[in-house]
Amino acid sequence: MERAASDQLVDHRGVWERKPVLRLVYDDFYDRIAAACRRGRTIEIGGGIGNLKQRLTEVVATDIQSAPWLDCVADAQRLPFADACAANIVMVDVLHHLEFPLVFFREAARVLRPGGRVLMVEPAITWGSTAFYRLFHHEPVRTSADVLADGSPDPRRDPYDSNQAIPTLIATSDRERFHRLVPTLRIAAVQWFALAAYPLSGGFQPWSLIGEGAARRLLRLERALEPALGRLTGFRMLLTVEKAADSGTAARCVN
């Protein structure tokens, strides 16, 4: 399993280097994250092929597996960091892979300083995206799952197991339950975006249905259309979860 995960990381890095339209689409993701970050240390979970670290300062990049461009190996559900040590926790396509998201959010509440944020770019299950994700994406969409169940993570579980509905359910139907279960955290904002350029790019597949120039123009158009169409047809979401501000004193991170 570890070898398969490592092979996927290498494959993704190769696609990233060969595919400028993919880099353009993900630059849009990273710009959104950077704009929402608090000042201070940022912990990246699921650092993968190391792209986000090139865009943000004071980043500790982690992943479930080791790689030369990462700072440490860490499980999102058992973070090796001190209490109140980070201004931000950022993730791209991690939340929907977690066995117990509730366990992660409790860890995030512990590690974040008061007023700190968890910033997550994730699949958005909308009227426009549902059929695409169900029919053409290899990861399942299980909207009936209990995405805030509590439990002990299984270390033998495949880290690439997933449910693409997790982020959307937490942001919508399970929002109030989330607030009750993790009372120090609040869902501060949800941006619904990625109307067309992202699915047309093919993601990390070797193919693309759109060129770099057309994608650049389309992304500019999408920014204007998102307020009206994002919740209805968006393929992506930026979920911002914020820790309540108080007078606590931040501790130093353990690297």
Task: Identify whether 139 is part of a domain.
Answer: yes
* 13/232: higher pLDDT: 232
- b/e per residue, 81-103, with b = 16+ CB within 10 A? beebbbbbbbbbbbbbbbbbbbb
Task: Identify whether 253 is part of a domain.
Answer: no
The two structure tokens encoding residue 15: 């696609």
Per-residue pLDDT band for 55 (boundaries 50, 70, 90) equals: confident
Task: Identify whether 250 is part of a domain.
Answer: no
pLDDT of residue 4: 54
Judging by DSSP bridges, how do beta strands 112-123 and 185-193 pair with one another? unpaired
* Residue at 122: amino acid letter: E
The CATH number of whichever domain residue 26 belongs to comes to 3.40.50.150
Q: How many domains does the chain have?
A: 1
Q: Is residue 173 predicted with pLDDT exceeding 50?
A: yes
Instruction: Please report, for residues 35, 65, 130, 159, the alpha-carbon distance to residue 2 in angstroms, rounded to integers and kept in the order given.
Output: 34, 8, 31, 9
203: left (phi over 0), alpha (psi -120 to 50) or beta: left
- Host domain of residue 134: 2-243
The two structure tokens encoding residue 133: 């994700």
Task: Identify whether 255 is part of a domain.
Answer: no
Task: Identify whether 73 is part of a domain.
Answer: yes
Task: Identify whether 252 is part of a domain.
Answer: no
pTM: 0.93
Contact 211, 233 (CB under 8 A): no
Residue that has been written with the tokens 């080791």 in this structure: 66
Instruction: Please report, for residues 49, 131, 140, 163, the alpha-carbon distance to residue 137 in angstroms, rounded to integers and kept in the order given.
Output: 21, 10, 8, 11
pLDDT tens digits for 135-161?
A: 989 999 999 999 999 999 999 999 999
String of DSSP letters for 138-174: SS---TTS-TT------TTS-TT---TTHHHHHHTTT
Contact 130, 234 (CB under 8 A): no
The two structure tokens encoding residue 219: 């992304």
pLDDT of residue 249: 40
The two structure tokens encoding residue 23: 């880099």
Q: Which of 163, 129, 128 is nearest to 145 (CA)?
A: 163
Share of the chain above pLDDT 70, in %: 94
For 215, counting Cβ atoms within 10 Å of its Cβ (0-12 exposed, 13-18 middle, 19+ buried), the class is buried
**C-alpha–C-alpha distance, residues 126 and 229, integer Å:** 10
Q: Is residue 201 predicted with pLDDT exceeding 80?
A: yes
Q: Which of 153, 88, 161 is nearest to 118 (CA)?
A: 88
Task: Identify whether 248 is part of a domain.
Answer: no
Residue 21: helix, strand or coil by DSSP?
A: helix
Task: Identify whether 29 is part of a domain.
Answer: yes
